[in-house]
Structure 1
Amino acid sequence: MTTTSMLTNLREVGGAGFQDGRTRRVYRANTEPDLPPSVYPTGVAVVDLRRDDEIARVPHPLASEPGYRGVPLFDPSTVESGADAVQLEEQYVDWLTRHSTGIADALRAIADTDGDVLVCCSAGKDRTGVISALLARLWGASVDRVGEDYAASADGLAERFAAERAVSTDPEATAVAQRCVPEVMTTVIGHLEWRWGSVEDYLRWIGLTDDEIRAL
């Protein structure tokens, strides 16, 4: 795998070494404009979780590859998050039901791919973070490990976050959006397992079949 410092939030789901022994790898990443395909893992299929308008503004460097798929996580018929979902963990919990169709579509796209897969959105933290957390927990990662994998985006996005803060007209909202600590995702997984029992049970609730879950 070849990377450059420009693609700073690229890594394997679950962190280094977690997927050792699996028959394929699933990566997670941000999306940056004007990068050559060589900065990405070679031979990967891409599941791009961004909205259609985001993709139009910043086409993915691998968009012309046969394995590229745009699979928007957000349901365009509803708002991104409910008005009472202020903190990130509240937003992510809200997504589990509000955007369950997009989550299911994204996971099916991964299940349908035989080889290595790259899951991405804009920053590679929020939408990608939720999908990555579901996968890692399904594969047996501890809740702490899921939280640590999520929080690793703080370093990967440090320069991007600094640039956003420099031009922000709403520092409080920016601080909420940039929060990237383990407790955010461990709270989400805790809620999911309290409500549905397990990630596998949640995946069945959103419509995945047993064969699709096994394929993941």
Structure 2
Amino acid sequence: MAEPNWIELAGVVNMRDLGGLTTERGEVVQARRLLRSDNLQDLPADSVRTLVARYGLTDVVDLRTDVEVVREGEGPLRALPEVRHHHLTLYREDTDESGIPAAERSLPWERGDAEAAATRRAAEAASPSSPAATPPSHDEFWSQHYLSYLDQRPDSIVAALRAVADGEGAVVVHCAAGKDRTGTVVGVALKAVGVPDEEIEADYAASAERVPRILDRLRQRPAYAANLRDKSVAQQSPTTDTMRLLLDALENRLGGVHAWLAGHGFDADDVERLRRKLLAPDAHSDDRAAADGPGDAGQPE
């Protein structure tokens, strides 16, 4: 399996290039086609220039909610006319009101946290022999949470895949931490083009090594500080089993990735465009690799 191709840039802690992953047919995901990241809000000017000039960034898929964008702002890449932005929330209950006072609007998952806490309390109060006494495991909880994205906002997931397929250059998909919403969209994209489950699971779980830094970073941001105050590294760390459960559900409960996508308007022609974008060799890729130097793997210094 390919090692994570980390992109070490000031302003982010969980950015990587999906280049190097191999499909079941032996095709290789090309570098500088699909990037994944945590929040881009803190990118300094040098990092912005690196993404545009060195990685050829042309599109940003922003999976943050409207509330997050209002609280955090659109970020420095939004000011660049040559970079297209696709804002696609994965929550049904969201708001685009531009003047939301931070103290008056909860983030969608904060309501979910309250519901989960109530479920746990009910389970603890139930008889030990009752099925209700067993709350979901860490992996079950998160995989069910990710399935809710597919249930609530299939339109946003399909639009995100179209943005990747149609992007002229590199496309970065990001949310806040770059592991949950981003992991779901990236996982569906990779599954659609034939990357085997174990590769998708390993890529998803790679974010675990960055969780301490992710939490340290987001606890300094106004939109996330209160929600993350009592969250532990273990609670927030992705595992291969979480993604395995999601991919199993996509296959066995939702009819398979291609059937699910087709049912939401992303047909075989769309999948082929996505395959060409991610897998087809670029005539100029060898020249760029030579310019980067041997063993650079596309990483900025």
TM over 0.5: yes
Is 1:76 the counterpart of 2:93 in the alignment? yes
Offset at 1:2?
7.0
Residues 1:61 and 1:157: Cα distance change in structure 2 (over 3 Å): farther
Is 1:4 the counterpart of 2:9 in the alignment? yes
Is 1:55 the counterpart of 2:69 in the alignment? yes
Q: Secondary structure at the match of 1:7?
A: coil
Partner deviation per Cα, 1:130-189 (whole Å, 9 max, x = no partner)? 00101111222221111111111112232223565x9755447x854x131111111100
Offset at 1:39?
5.2
Residues 1:159 and 1:203: Cα distance change in structure 2 (over 3 Å): same
* Partner AA of 2:74 in structure 1: P
Is 1:160 the counterpart of 2:160 in the alignment? no
Instruction: Quote the Cα distance in structure 2 between the aligned partners of 1:90 and 1:145.
Output: 21
Query: What aligned pairs does 1:180-191 form with structure 2 within 5 A after superposition?
Result: 180-191=238-249
Offset at 1:70?
1.7
- Aligned equivalent of 1:17: 20
Query: Aligned match of 1:94 in 136, 144, 148?
Result: 148
Offset at 1:77?
6.0
Q: Secondary structure at the match of 1:76?
A: coil
Q: Secondary structure at the match of 2:57?
A: coil
Instruction: Quote the Cα distance in structure 2 between the aligned partners of 1:77 and 1:214.
Output: 32
Instruction: Quote the Cα distance in structure 1 between the aligned partners of 2:30 and 2:184.
Output: 21
Instruction: Quote the Cα distance in structure 2 between the aligned partners of 1:195 and 1:42.
Output: 38
Query: What aligned pairs does 1:133-212 form with structure 2 within 5 A after superposition?
Result: 133-161=187-215, 164=219, 168=228, 170-171=230-231, 175-176=234-235, 178-212=236-270
Q: Secondary structure at the match of 2:21?
A: coil
Query: Aligned match of 1:115 in 154, 162, 169?
Result: 169
CA contact (8 A) 1:48 1:71 kept: yes
CA contact (8 A) 1:3 1:38 kept: no
Query: What aligned pairs does 1:118-129 form with structure 2 within 5 A after superposition?
Result: 118-129=172-183
CA contact (8 A) 1:138 1:200 kept: yes
Offset at 1:191?
0.6
Q: Answer with 201-210 or 84-93: which moved more.
A: 84-93
Q: What's the % identity of the aligned pairs?
A: 29
- Aligned equivalent of 2:79: 64
Instruction: Quote the Cα distance in structure 2 between the aligned partners of 1:77 and 1:6.
Output: 27
Partner deviation per Cα, 1:60-87 (whole Å, 9 max, x = no partner)? 2211223222222222369656957961
Query: What aligned pairs does 1:25-64 form with structure 2 within 5 A after superposition?
Result: 25-36=33-44, 37-38=48-49, 40=51, 41-56=55-70, 57-64=72-79
Instruction: Quote the Cα distance in structure 2 between the aligned partners of 1:149 and 1:119.
Output: 14
Instruction: Quote the Cα distance in structure 1 between the aligned partners of 2:231 and 2:257.
Output: 34
Offset at 1:53?
2.4
Query: Matched residue pairs, number?
Result: 211
- When the two chains are superposed, the root-mean-square deviation of aligned CA atoms in Å is 3.1
Q: Answer with 126-135 or 48-57: which moved more.
A: 48-57
Instruction: Quote the Cα distance in structure 1 between the aligned partners of 2:267 and 2:196.
Output: 24
Normalised TM-score (structure 2): 0.61
